[in-house]
Amino acid sequence: MKNEFLHNPDLDGEPFFWEAGPVGIFLSHGYTATTVDVRPLAKNLHQQGYTVAGPLLPGHGTKPTDLNRVCWQDWTAEGEKTYQQLKQHCEKVFVGGESMGAMVALYLASEHPEAAGVLCYAPAIKLTTSTFDRIKLFLAAPFIEQIDRGPLDCPEQWQGYPRLPLKGTLQLFQMQKAVRARLPQIRQPVLIFQGRRDKTVHPEAGEIICNGVQSTLKELYWMENSAHPIPLGQELGEVTRLTLEFIQKV
């Protein structure tokens, strides 16, 4: 039965756990999305012999109002479950994600110094949302459940809610603040990708992470032809190559 609340309901947005070699990779999707966000990248990495897993975060993949009933700690807790599952099967585990999923990964890295490295794709640690727009969202959230969002990036490949749940968005803002405060606890190697055509994540996001973490190895790449959902874009091949090089280097 099709989910009428999802854009592209025919795509497979369920959680996945694909076993392969002794090195595991955790990949989380972004806010309002599903695992479709990261599946193309996950498949490429799995084909190279890595065990790859992606959770479906609470409030996602059902209906938009469900995102108004969760808090950001629910997302990191679900990420923790998948991370522990990977740890049981693998000798080393990298944590990664797209957009808000990258913040889940950064949070896990701050909690688990044994994690091998962090993979951030369009990390949503700072958005292009103005202070004025944030105030408007804060004031509207108690009265309005959801609002229309702008045009979707990669509309044919992306799956998720076409409308924006407001209380859930406030949780995303709280998560940004919490993760930013945890950056100094991160010492693992960090890989970051940002898209030049990304209108969602602020251009300073990658630098904020690089300047905040204590890591010795930090790599930041700008993908010239990519919008926000980098793993769904036309530069996936190059993103995969650079990701594999980074993992092998670590």
Active site annotation includes 7: no
How big is the CA angle at 185 (ends 182 and 187), to the nearest 5 degrees? 130
How does DSSP classify residue 151?
A: P
Report the predicted TM-score, pTM, of the whole model to 2 decimal places.
0.96
CA–CA dist 245, 241 (Å, integer): 6
For 38-91, write each residue's pLDDT tens digit: 999 999 999 999 999 999 999 999 999 999 999 999 999 999 999 999 999 999
CA–CA dist 17, 82 (Å, integer): 9
Average pLDDT (154-183) is 95
Indicate the number of domains in the chain.
1
Average pLDDT (184-205) is 97
72 lies in a domain?
yes
5 lies in a domain?
no
> What tokens does 201 get?
């994540």
178 lies in a domain?
yes
7 lies in a domain?
no
3 lies in a domain?
no
Residue numbers of the domain that contains 169: 16-249
CATH number at residue 94: 3.40.50.1820
134 lies in a domain?
yes
Q: Please give the mean pLDDT across all residues of the chain.
A: 96
Active site annotation includes 66: no
Share of the chain above pLDDT 70, in %: 100
Catalytic residue among 7, 198, 215, 226: 198
38 lies in a domain?
yes
Active site annotation includes 228: yes
Does an H or E element contain 191, and which?
Answer: strand 190-195
Catalytic residue among 28, 99, 110, 226: 99
4 lies in a domain?
no
Question: What does the pLDDT read at residue 130?
Answer: 87
